[in-house]
Amino acid sequence: MAGDYLTCPMCGFEFARGDTLCAHGCPLGSMCRLVRCPSCQYEFPETPATVGMFRKLFKRRRSLPVAAGEARLPENVRAASELRPGERATVLCLGATATERHRTLTVFGVAPGAELTVVQQQPACVIKVGETELALDREIAREILVEPGERKARAPTVEQEQPTGF
Amino acid sequence: MTADTNSARSLPRPTASEAPVTALVGNPNVGKSVLFRNLTRRYVTVSNYPGTTVEIVRAKASEEVGDREIVDTPGLNDLAPRSDEARVTRELLESYPDSTVLQVADAKNLRRALFLTLQLAELRRPMVLVLNMWDELEERGGEIDVERLSTILGIPVVCTVAPTNTGTEELVAALDRARVPAIAPEPGTTAPSDVTRLDRVNDILAETWSISEPERASLGVKLGFWAMHPVKGLAVLSAILLAVFWLVGLFGAGTLVDALEVGIFEQRVSPASIAVADRLLPFPHEHFTEEVPFTLSLPISPAHEVVLRETSRLTVRPAYEISPSVELTGGESFRRLVHDFLVGPFGQVTMGLSYALAIVLPIVTVFFLVFSVLEDSGYFSRMSVMLNRVFRIMGLNGKAVLPMILGLGCTTMATMTTRVLESRKERIVTTMLLALAVPCSAQLGVLLALTAALSPGGALVWLGIMAGVILMVGWLTAKVFPGEGSEFILEIPPMRRPQPGNVLTKTYSRIEWYLKEVIPVFLVGTAVLFLLDSLGALTAIAHAAEPLVVGWLGLPAEMANALLVGFMRRDFGAVYVLDAATGAGAILSQHQILVAMVTITLFMPCFATLLMITKEHGRKTALGMVAFIFPFAVLIGGLVNKLGLWLGTT
């Protein structure tokens, strides 16, 4: 997620928080508020919470670096937000780690393997699953990855979970 | 809604051991309550807000059903204890370990029902599945293999059409055949995940469910589609807003209020009650009489109307004079006080009741009627889709549309329904906007009447200021208040023709709630005004507030009273402004009307709303809002005044 990525103010290198260069056994330990850029070795303080709040107040939210991720999607896998109205698709994954959202979507019938039809994209994305029509934020639709076209054979992992009752 | 859930308390509560309990469980809006009525022959009013009714309604079954106790539960999509409804339902089922579960399903939405069926099956209770709304399924060309479904689930499955009481007998017969579902997992095994459940549901659906889509979309489907279309949707939205404006603002606040206030109260009720008071409380005085004109007309636009009937009647007014030669005795002075309390210029009948019943009631009634029609048609969800982006600016999402629109009816009621919003941040922002800038229907009606006294340009300026304030304050509150908003995932029900019975019941229960809430406030408010007036405090307050009212807002000193009663109820204050703007001896100029309108719109929420805010969000939040709203209203009003002076629009 965006919060775990830092940008070095010196060289502009973007790196994960875990990649920070830090001397082992440093006596400051968790008290240390400095991070060191793995690229240029420049040590800088992390943005304190108060400064962050002011920034939030006056700056537009920086967009997530999604564009780079989307480019790497395999062929014929697309985000639900890219489908044209009327297009049908099979859900592959519900996106990142928002489990609460996954539960809500699952209860409405949107889960991997479900078939959806896009009703519209503007002003909000509306999809249809079975007889249920659901309106979603574009941000949510962008994270739902689908495979356009009719439903295909299910993945073998799901098959193993088949109940024995019937 | 309080009014709706009251029925739960008034119902008899037999002890648990008396009769076997049958619990109605199901998704929201599948007709559980209608079915409940069919089984118990008891009438229960239903609210259509998801999440507001988390109370349990129960009653003894009717004789045909046999010795059973039927319990209605709130609609829920998911039995996992993540929501209040699910927790309440779970607790209920746990407290009746031998209860039978009667799951009510919307036949056309079998997928969601089956998801719940699987969760219910995990409780290992005897179950019956009811496929309600069977007619709507057939209308859409859907088919369910009921026998196959019954075999797979291992429980009786019955088809019903609850509103026409079709299939109730079969349902009663099936109740005795209720069994623990065959698909229930063995005791001791861990519950499957949501995804596994959904997969099972898809398997069952594949075997039992089919639908042949109609060639041509029905009008309802088309209308539902247009209502969300980026361009046509805006047209639908404006058309609906115009219709609401005409019905509530022009017809309700114009024609109906005129008929009730002038035609009934001023010309008939007030003179009659004055006559009664004079008879019972005699003291030497002479009431003024006045020729009161009354026009019954049908509005076309704010400035045009078709006059249907024009009459005028010589009427006794509350004001009176005592000849200077008469000296009142102690008894007479007391009688005069009581007389004034009841029918004086600040009398309970002549002011309190007439404001509540003749001005506020007709407007509110029309509004709630329109609101119920729109709600029943399924339009509000589509409106949420249209307005989601705008609400995003304020850290809210489309779901906040419903409380905000309801706020145009009654802010107190709307404050209560902010519960449907998921995060605390959203609830606070919405409550703030409701308290600050969303005028309730009574106030709105009066304000609309005021705009008629204002030039069209002035009315637009007022509208612009309000929209700007809502956006700006919403944006700021969202920034200042910590926390995240929630995500916008909203189910969109199919557009359907509003059911007259449903609409009337809902309108009635809301009006009932409103009257219980409002009439006491109006009477107490009038009493306070009367007290202040008899003590001579009204003039003193007007004098004390002079620098603020005259200096900063540029209004006549008398308008301090409008602000004072505005503390009681904003619409009360607005009525005051209306009187000063259009009544006999109007004292306000165009510029002053605008300033007064802006100030009174933004002014304090009414006392009932404040109590509701305290109840929902705590005293600290309520006080914080008051501390912001009062200075802010005066500030903006003053700025409009100074800006107007500077631009020379006076």
Q: For strands B304-321 and B69-72, give the pairing.
A: unpaired
Q: Say yes or no: A87 and A143 in one domain.
A: yes
- Most confident range (mean pLDDT) of A39-43, B576-580, B628-632 is B628-632
| Packing angle, helices B537-544 and B500-534, rounded to 10 | 90
Q: Which residues contact B195 (CB under 8 A, 6 or more apart)?
A: A106, A111, A112, A158
Quick count: other Cβ atoms within 10 Å of Cβ B247? 16
Residue A161 in any domain: the answer is: no
Contact criterion met (CB < 8 Å) for B202 and A114: yes
Domains and CATH numbers, chain B: 2-211 (3.40.50.300), 232-371 (no CATH)
Query: Quick one: pLDDT at residue B155?
Result: 92
Q: Say yes or no: A81 and A134 in one domain.
A: yes
Q: For residue B88, what are its two tokens?
A: 């309440």
Choose the closest CB to B112 out of A111, A126, A132.
Answer: A132
Residue A63 in any domain: the answer is: no
Disruptive mutation site among A93, A97, A107 for chain B (greatest number of B CBs within 10 Å): A107
- Please give the Cα distance from B300 to B310 (Å, whole number): 17
Question: Which residues in B187-234 belong to E strands, given as ranges?
Answer: 209-211
Number of domains in chain A: 2
Residue A160 in any domain: the answer is: no
pLDDT at B44 > cutoff 80: no
Q: Which of A50-59, B105-114, B304-313 has the lowest mean pLDDT?
A: A50-59
Q: Which residues contact A41 (CB under 8 A, 6 or more apart)?
A: A21
Query: Quick one: pLDDT at residue B632?
Result: 92
Disruptive mutation site among B385, B472, B480 for chain A (greatest number of A CBs within 10 Å): B385
CA B357 to chain centre: 18
Q: For residue A39, what are its two tokens?
A: 């690229």
pLDDT tens for each residue of B522-560: 788 788 878 888 888 877 877 888 888 888 888 887 777
Angle at B97 between CA B94 and CA B101, to 5 degrees: 85
Choose the closest CB to A126 out of B196, B198, B385.
Answer: B385
Q: What does each C-alpha distance from B347 to B261, B342, B514 come to in angstroms?
A: 15, 4, 22
Q: Is residue B489 within 8 Å of residue A105, measured between CB atoms? A: yes
Torsion angles phi and psi, residue B589, rounded to 5: -85, 170
User: How many contacts, defined by CB atoms under 8 Å, are there between A and B?
Assistant: 123
Q: Is residue B316 within 8 Å of residue B270, measured between CB atoms? A: yes
Measuring CA to CA, which residue among B311, B308, B305, B309 is closest to residue B291?
B311
Q: Does B385 touch chain A (CB under 8 A)?
A: yes
Boundaries of domain holding A117: 71-151
Q: For residue A49, what are its two tokens?
A: 């919470």
Q: Say yes or no: A85 and A34 in one domain.
A: no
Q: Say yes or no: A53 and A106 in one domain.
A: no
Query: Quick one: pLDDT at residue B165?
Result: 81
Query: Quick one: pLDDT at residue B5?
Result: 40
Residue A159 in any domain: the answer is: no
pTM of the model: 0.74
Residue A126 in any domain: the answer is: yes
- Please give the Cα distance from A75 to B30 (Å, whole number): 41
Q: For residue B149, what are its two tokens?
A: 């479904």
pLDDT at A49 > cutoff 80: no
pLDDT at A159 > cutoff 60: no
- Please give the Cα distance from B485 to B499 (Å, whole number): 34
Q: For strands A125-129 and A115-120, give the pairing.
A: antiparallel
pLDDT tens for each residue of A57-110: 665 544 444 444 445 667 788 888 888 888 899 888 887 666 778 888 887 878
Q: Say yes or no: A81 and A142 in one domain.
A: yes
In chain B, residues 167-206 whose CB comes closer than 8 Å to chain A: 182-183, 185, 192, 194-196, 198-203
pLDDT tens for each residue of B571-604: 667 777 777 776 656 677 888 888 888 888 888 7
| Residue in chain A nearest B385 by alpha carbon | A124
- Please give the Cα distance from B19 to B40 (Å, whole number): 14
Contact criterion met (CB < 8 Å) for B489 and A133: no
Peptide bond into A123 cis (omega under 30): yes
Query: Quick one: pLDDT at residue B128?
Result: 93
Q: Which residues of B143-172 are buried (b: 16+ CB within 10 A; e: fewer)?
A: ebebeebbebbbbbbbbbbbbeebbbeebb
Q: Say yes or no: A84 and A142 in one domain.
A: yes
Q: Say yes or no: A53 and A78 in one domain.
A: no
pLDDT at B315 > cutoff 50: yes
Choose the closest CB to A137 out of B115, B195, B488.
Answer: B488
Contact criterion met (CB < 8 Å) for A126 and B228: yes
Residue A166 in any domain: the answer is: no
pLDDT tens for each residue of B265-291: 888 888 999 999 988 888 888 888 888
Q: Calculate how close chain A gets to B219, using CA atoms only, in Å.
A: 16
Residue A145 in any domain: the answer is: yes
Q: Say yes or no: A44 and A79 in one domain.
A: no
Q: Say yes or no: A41 and A11 in one domain.
A: yes
- Please give the Cα distance from B402 to B383 (Å, whole number): 9
Q: For residue B400, what are its two tokens?
A: 């906040």
Type and span of the H or E element at B631: helix B619-647
Residue A64 in any domain: the answer is: no
Q: Is residue A66 within 8 Å of residue A54, measured between CB atoms? A: no
Measuring CA to CA, which residue among B184, B176, B128 is closest to residue B20?
B176
- Report the CATH number that the domain containing residue A99 is assigned in CATH: 2.30.30.90
Q: Which residues contact B271 (CB under 8 A, 6 or more apart)?
A: B315, B316
Torsion angles phi and psi, residue B188, rounded to 5: 100, -25
Alpha-helical runs (H) found in B209-306: 219-226, 232-244, 257, 270-280
| Residue in chain B nearest A141 by alpha carbon | B489
- Please give the Cα distance from A108 to A134 (Å, whole number): 8
Residue whose tokens read 């509208």: B463
**Residue B196, SS3 per DSSP:** helix
Quick count: other Cβ atoms within 10 Å of Cβ B177? 11
